Amino acid sequence: MKRFVIGPDIAVALARREADVATGHRLLAPTLLRSQVLSHLYAAVRRGDLDRKAAERQLDYLRALRIRLLGDRVLQKAAWRVAAHFDWPDTHFAEYVALTQLQADALVTLDAKRGEQARELVALASLDDLFRCGN
């Protein structure tokens, strides 16, 4: 069993596919994932990239997906350290990196630039890794 931290980019990619994550894998994310995904889908509907019904279907898929959401004091403290380490302007992505450090095997992101930076602190995995069984 592998534990993967996913960000809003990966959550939306999974929702678009409505794909099943391989049995045994566990998904984790900071609690801010909910708001980021909601905001992303709302913006996509406003731009006309997605209709509301499709956005709601994606939200329903994500609500049913078993993602353990965490946001405690320890995570916040670790996220602060990560953001300061990279001199990032905010702690949003740092929460995903920190959660990976604290509780997961790998971080999954489509953000190549931030992913490359995060590789200094955590292991990275691909979207396809979520569908592969095994260790």
pLDDT (0 to 100) of residue 19: 83
From first CA to last CA, the distance across the chain in angstroms is 6
**pLDDT band, very low/low/confident/very high, at 134 (cuts 50, 70, 90):** low
- The closest of 18, 17, 16 to 50, measured between CA atoms, is 16
Please tell me the pTM assigned to this model.
Answer: 0.94
User: Tokens 């994500």 appear where?
Assistant: 62
DSSP secondary structure letter of residue 129: G
What's 48-71 look like in SS3?
A: CCCCHHHHHHHHHHHHHCCEEEEC
- Tens-digit pLDDT profile for residues 75-132: 999 999 999 999 999 999 999 999 999 999 999 999 999 999 999 999 999 999 999 8
Q: For residue 73, what is the domain's CATH number? A: 3.40.50.1010
How many structural domains is the chain composed of? 1
Handedness of CA 101, 3, 75, 124 (dihedral sign): positive
What's the domain range around 46? 3-131
